[in-house]
Chain A
Amino acid sequence: MGIIELREQLQQGHVSALELTNQYLERIQEVDPKVHAFLEITAERARFDARRIDELRSKGVLLPPLAGIPIAIKDNICTKGIRTTCSSRMLEAFIPPYESTVTEKLWKAGAILLGKTNLDEFAMGSSTETSAFGATANPWDLTRVPGGSSGGSAAAVASGECVASLGSDTGGSIRQPAAFCGLVGLKPTYGRVSRWGLVAFASSLDQIGSFTHTVADAAELLHVIAGEDYKDATCLKVSVPNYQSILQKSISGLRIGLIKECFDPNGLDPQVASAVNKAASHLESLGCELVEISCPQFNYGIATYYIIAPSEASANLARYDGMKYGYRAEGVENLATITSQSRAQGFGSEVQRRILIGTYALSAGYVDAYYKKAQQVRTLIRRDFDAAFAKVDVLLTPTVPSTAFLAGAHTDDPLQMYLSDLLTIPANLAGLPAMNIPCGFDDTGLPIGMQLIGNVLEESRILQVAHHYEVTTNIMSSNL
């Protein structure tokens, strides 16, 4: 059951918040040894908060929209007083003294924190295999990856360990795991949701978003976490629409653009292509107009991203030097060695790889050819989208060129791993809202997802399309 049904159940008194929380905690006990979605389970706090909700409800107090709903949070989002590790040795013992804006909003809305979920270290990865604390398994097939970097958040929802979860998406880190795990994964417009408290990976690309079973739940969560924040200068000062109440709006007549560069058979699993095309036809049957769109610079996104993101990351991760907090190497005494050893020991190899790439791309003699050039291509990619949205209302692509791959399949080949993000990256570069909706299964029963991309601040529109698709197809009717 999703947020809306559970809220109904709680309001009707069919279940108490404590009972519900305990159900989920039991489920975590049962499956997490195999799935390993969670790094930290905050059982005591969850029960405490659930009891409080029940108490307030019994007194007839009007409760906020997420009262009693158990949620999990990706471990790169700071939660006050609760360890936030970014799945890294570097922050293994880090306990934030402050709360991130999104979680502050969630707690104010009455949500229950079940725990912190696993991720690729510092959100750098597409499989959750670079976590310093062990990988997460895909609940659909435990020999496969759940995707990344928000693999833990995705697996937790997909395995029924929580109702919904928050993740972060820099190049596809919500949408790709959502596709691999058969979930609705939403990345809002850049700046729609505050980044205060999100441990920075690539500042101009990072956004916090959600994993839910249904589109309606995604609308619920977005309404709670979106909005202006004076603590984040990049957070937009734009009012938050009531996303839930406009889901029903008719999508008949909407023009849906299929980006042809995303359907290139080279490198695209034919079953994925087929499922997405079928979904497109279904949307057509609902009254939408399908339009073929070209975004000529689309495929340069991945090269562009793998210069810009590491460049920003190299600066964002410079603060981890063993001086003020975090991991400090032992037995080293001089300044240069404390820093270099702490970082060499505290960071995994993928993080080190990206820091080195970013340092190189920004260094004198190379910055023009790499960083500046990449920013220019980024502008061209944005312009492709601008041109597209002059012709259509929403864009449709597959989310990932494949379904969930086997654990260990790409760990020796970073470039292969990076290709997983091919279709999701451009929306981050352009700052556009984008989401994954399940649209089928492959012949081994693995979920396939399609991606909807909207224009700036048009979350409502993609939610509407996704919602209508979901309620008229019932793709995810099976339970784990």
Chain B
Amino acid sequence: MAAVKGQEGWEAVIGLETHVQLGTASKIFTQASTNFGDDPNTNINSIVCGLPGTLPVLNRKVLEYAVKAALALNLKVAEHSKFDRKQYFYPDLPKNYQISQYDEPIAEDGWIEVEVSEKGKETYIKKIGIERLHMEEDAGKLVHVGSDSLSGSRYSLVDYNRAGIALAEIVSKPDLRTGREAAEYAAEIRRIVRYLGVSDGNMQEGSLRCDVNISVRQGHHAPFGVKIEIKNMNSFSAIQKACEYEIARQIKALTDGEKIVQETRLWDESKQITTSMRSKEVASDYRYFPDPDLGPIEIEQARRLNWICELPELPASKRHRYLEEIGLSIYDARVLTDELPMAEYFESAIASGADPKILANWLMGDISAYLNSNKITIQDIKLYPSQLAELVKLISSGSISGKIAKDILPELIEKGGSPATMVAERGLEMISDIDELRSIMNNLMVSYLEEVQAFRNGKIKLQGFFVGQLMKQTGGKADPKITNKVVVEMLNSLDQ
């Protein structure tokens, strides 16, 4: 990979810490709702608020979701693990300790395959190690009035709706080397958790949050440099840009002879820079100890195996399969596997016997355009995969033209139904009879003598006019290839 100008000889070392909100209906240790966007302090109860005498009880669905995520990330799931109390005082933490996992997390030592793709560059695949995944409870939210942060605000309001929502914290190994890799890694994590249905992975709503740890060193084998933590990136592109900015900043600083001081910096989306967090962070001693209110977490082999069987085929595996077995391009494979429902629709349609490449084009083209402009998803359309397959077969067998297919697609998406039946009922079959087309063209040439003359005098663009007219005369059913041939042939013939 070509180095960035000015950064030759330097290598960035990047690790990502990702917090994924697990999409269970109830919070991790209590039945309060996890619904997003409700009025402040509506999804709370005495346990969420840490009232005296209340106790946490583990939501077993959370355990299932966390283990499935761990399995999908190729982590080793521990047979025994436990919860610990992580202690610090802050108003968004009702008990002033967070129930988390410290030295015995639910899963350790895994990896994922990331496909790194960037415009103008060759796509490559990289294996990124994952240190661990553990469960913990989320904190509430503070809304500061009069300032962006606690300091300088007149007062702050506390909302505990988020407090107690289940989180899976995923820590990567420092295997990432570029901002793009970091962004792709985050996107793949999102893709995986969405495939599993354990999270909606929404960075804007906060159900997927990433912090970056980044340092630079001179060459592969130099010792790691001082690492800086970066927070406050709300999109994958922000992750990439923040990394690129920070790498450049660190290299410049070191080249100028400055030292990098370990600190936490914030990504400023409006200014596109990282800034130092003004408030000096107190050295964090979280005084971890095992939470005595919760028993040990035991995952027996049998349960783990059951959960393994429930995992769907994962994105990386699908991408490989689409590439190698179905013969799609890297790009097409990427797009179609980005969301599981689309991939499943595609696979279902292939199973009905349609040509995969044509199917892919329809799904990525007209159908995706329809979904986007109507703000719906593939799961909302009334057209079954088998019916789309039928449409594609009608096209590839020459029964209907591409134009007719495009015309009837919206109605099919909205109402469903058999394309073959619709075509038959409405007489939409493609007209491929060359004599019929010649006859229509003949009439056109009689009606548009001037245009014929103009064409023969040099205005060759009028060929398109006649093609269009022929199409119109046939209600769009003329075979485009034959139409073209007929128009060209007859315009250029000197028989008329």
Of A96, A97, A200, A339, which is within 8 A of B89 by CB?
A339
Q: Are B89's CB and A233's CB within 8 A?
A: no
B414-451 residues with Cβ-Cβ distance < 8 A to A are none
Q: Are B295's CB and A319's CB within 8 A?
A: no
Complex interface: stretch among B285-293, B350-358, B470-478? B285-293
Given A335-B91, A363-B287, A371-B289, A232 and B96 touching (CB < 8 A)? no
Q: Which B residues are in CB contact (< 8 Å) with A271?
A: none
Q: Which B residues are in CB contact (< 8 Å) with A312?
A: 289, 292
Of A84, A230, A231, which is within 8 A of B52 by CB?
A84
Of A98, A203, A231, which is within 8 A of B57 by CB?
A231
B286 to chain A, nearest CB (A): 9
Q: Are A197's CB and B53's CB within 8 A?
A: yes
Complex interface: stretch among B43-51, B114-122, B128-136, B196-204? B43-51
Given A98-B46, A233-B295, A367-B289, A318 and B53 touching (CB < 8 A)? no
Find the A residue at minimum CB distance from B58.
A233
Q: Are A315's CB and B87's CB within 8 A?
A: yes
Q: Are A233's CB and B289's CB within 8 A?
A: no
B284-325 residues with Cβ-Cβ distance < 8 A to A are 285, 287-289, 292-295
Q: Are B52's CB and A78's CB within 8 A?
A: yes
B54 to chain A, nearest CB (A): 7
Of A96, A230, A359, A364, which is within 8 A of B53 by CB?
A96
Given A362-B287, A364-B285, A315 and B53 touching (CB < 8 A)? no
Is A198 interfacial (CB 8 A cutoff)? yes
Is B185 interfacial (CB 8 A cutoff)? no
Find the A residue at minimum CB distance from B91.
A323
Complex: how many Å from CA A319 to CA B53? Answer: 11
Please count the residue pairs between chain A and chain B whose beta carbons lie under 8 angstroms apart in the complex.
Answer: 97
Is A48 interfacial (CB 8 A cutoff)? no
Q: Which A residues are in CB contact (< 8 Å) with B179?
A: none
Q: Are B292's CB and A100's CB within 8 A?
A: no
Complex: how many Å from CA A335 to CA B294? Answer: 30
B405 to chain A, nearest CB (A): 58
User: Contact flags (1/0) for A90-128 with B, using CB distance below 8 Å?
Assistant: 010010111010000000000000000000000000000
Q: Are A325's CB and B51's CB within 8 A?
A: yes
Q: Which A residues are in CB contact (< 8 Å) with B96?
A: 318-319, 321
Q: Which B residues are in CB contact (< 8 Å) with A364?
A: 285, 287
Is A59 interfacial (CB 8 A cutoff)? no
Is B381 interfacial (CB 8 A cutoff)? no
Complex: how many Å from CA A302 to CA B348? Answer: 69
Is A354 interfacial (CB 8 A cutoff)? no
Is B174 interfacial (CB 8 A cutoff)? no
Given A204-B292, A318-B96, A319-B94, A367 and B53 touching (CB < 8 A)? no
Complex: how many Å from CA A197 to CA B46? Answer: 11
B266 to chain A, nearest CB (A): 20
Find the B residue at minimum CB distance from A197.
B53
B185-227 residues with Cβ-Cβ distance < 8 A to A are none
B165 to chain A, nearest CB (A): 18
Is B326 interfacial (CB 8 A cutoff)? no
Given A318-B87, A318-B95, A335-B91, A232 and B57 touching (CB < 8 A)? yes
Q: Which A residues are in CB contact (< 8 Å) with B143?
A: none
Q: Which B residues are in CB contact (< 8 Å) with A371?
A: 289
User: Contact flags (1/0) for B90-101 with A, using CB distance below 8 Å?
Assistant: 010011110000
Is A196 interfacial (CB 8 A cutoff)? yes
B2-61 residues with Cβ-Cβ distance < 8 A to A are 46, 49-58
Is B85 interfacial (CB 8 A cutoff)? yes
Find the B residue at minimum CB distance from A230.
B57
Q: Are B57's CB and A362's CB within 8 A?
A: no
Is A255 interfacial (CB 8 A cutoff)? no
Given A98-B46, A233-B58, A359 and B89 touching (CB < 8 A)? no
Given A315-B289, A363-B285, A367-B289, A335 and B295 touching (CB < 8 A)? no
Complex: how many Å from CA A339 to CA B294? Answer: 27
Q: Are A232's CB and B55's CB within 8 A?
A: yes
Question: Which residue numbers of B lie inside 8 Å of A, CB to CB?
Answer: 46, 49-58, 85, 87, 89, 91, 94-97, 150, 158, 285, 287-289, 292-295
Across the A-B interface, the 10 shortest Cβ-Cβ residue pairs? A318-B96, A204-B292, A203-B292, A362-B287, A199-B52, A78-B53, A319-B50, A364-B285, A197-B53, A319-B95
Contacts beyond the supplied A77-B53, A325-B49: 17 A-B pairs with Cβ under 8 Å: A96-B46, A96-B51, A98-B46, A98-B51, A199-B53, A233-B58, A233-B293, A234-B292, A311-B289, A318-B95, A319-B50, A319-B94, A324-B49, A324-B94, A325-B51, A364-B285, A367-B287
- Interchain Cβ contacts under 8 Å between A and B, 25 examples: A91-B52, A96-B53, A98-B46, A195-B55, A200-B293, A204-B292, A231-B55, A233-B56, A233-B58, A233-B293, A233-B295, A234-B295, A312-B289, A314-B87, A314-B287, A318-B87, A319-B52, A319-B95, A324-B49, A324-B158, A325-B49, A362-B287, A362-B288, A362-B289, A367-B287
